[in-house]
Amino acid sequence: MSTMNISLPDALKAFVDQQVSSRGYGTSSEYVRELIRRDQDAQALRAMLLEGARSPAGAPADAGYFQSLRERAAQRKPS
């Protein structure tokens, strides 16, 4: 694992320390790693949403669509 040093103003350092103690993180590094992971997830979700928005329109998700899903699910046998 690599090491990265960051400088924070006192107010941000106090906030991080408070989050670590109140939210059950063992260290400030754990807290920062969690923030980075959440940011990665948010960016990945945004990319998927944008890809979906750019894709051609599919079939409408109307009552008929959901009825066909129910029928397909009813036809499947439990394993």
* Whether the predicted model's global pTM rises above the 0.95 cut: no
pLDDT tens digits for the chain (79 residues)?
899 999 999 999 999 999 999 999 999 999 999 999 999 999 999 999 999 999 998 888 999 999 999 999 999 877 6
CA distances from 42 to 16, 17, 28, 29, 35 (A): 21, 24, 21, 20, 10
- Using the structure block, give the residue that is written with the tokens 């036809």: 75
